[in-house]
Amino acid sequence: MPLEWKVNQFAIRSFRDQGDEDYISARMACRAQLVSPFLWSSQQTIEKYLKCILLLNRIPAKSVMHDLCEAVELIKRSDKLVFELTPKSQQFIDHVDRYGPFRYLEISNIAYGKQLISLDGAAWELRRYCTLSDAPRKVTIQRGVTPPIVRLPGGYLEKIIDNLEHPAREPLLWQNAFFGKRGRKRIRYHSWFKATNAPLYLHPEILEEVWKYVYLPKPIRDGYKDHKGP
């Protein structure tokens, strides 16, 4: 098997397929109003899709780590493909880039029930670039129009959708306007809003004591050193 094919399979199996699993996990967490798991799984979904795009197009990205905005800019600045995102998807990416990486409530967070639609839209937009096939990349989305169904050859989500007995099928298709056998003109989502203050935000005086026993990233420590309280 050619080396190029093997590298492409790495991009698809390690990034796109794993991103598909994170995507379903994020939908489940949002449906259950679990903010931190929703934001974290959304961040992981987008990160893996972006890394798949970067690798499939051989765009060097060792510096990206978990920085979604840097990954987006690398793709846009490259001459490898035409890469476009709607403002709504870019706004959602910015949101999870800010709040998603913090799994331990190191910073305060915020999420909305309607972000389920934003997650679906961002996943749909990014995933169509997670292939070397030209057809999915050319499909566009228009405001007020039911999103067209885009199927990737050999896609993990597609296999779940086609398998009526798959346990992940229901959480994937529940109120999903972007993925499924047919387009949906109307969906219903749970309208909720949750904002949570981080313990260090409420009590910054515990920073040094916590630091004696628990690792905190330097940006977090530096950010709280001058914080006097809510």
Nearest CA to 87 out of 43, 118, 46 is that of: 118
pLDDT in tens, 133-151: 888 887 877 776 778 889 9
Q: Region 180-203: what's the mean pLDDT?
A: 87
Do 152 and 222 belong together in one domain? no
Considering only residues 191 and 17, tell me which one the structure prediction assigns the higher pLDDT. Answer: 17
* Same domain? 152 vs 210: no
Domain tally, the chain: 2
- What residues make up the domain containing 209? 199-230
pLDDT band at 184 (very low <50, low <70, confident <90, very high): confident
Q: 149-176, pLDDT tens digit by residue? A: 899 999 999 999 999 999 999 999 999 9
Q: Which residue type is seen at 156?
A: Y
Q: Convert the pLDDT of each residue in 29-60 to its tens digit.
A: 999 999 999 999 999 999 999 999 999 999 99
Q: What is the pLDDT of residue 188?
A: 81
Residues 176 and 206 in one domain: no
Radius of gyration of the chain (CA): 19
Cα–Cα distance for residue pair 127/192, rounded to 1 Å:
27
Same domain, residue pair 64 and 27:
yes
| 122 and 205 together in one domain | no
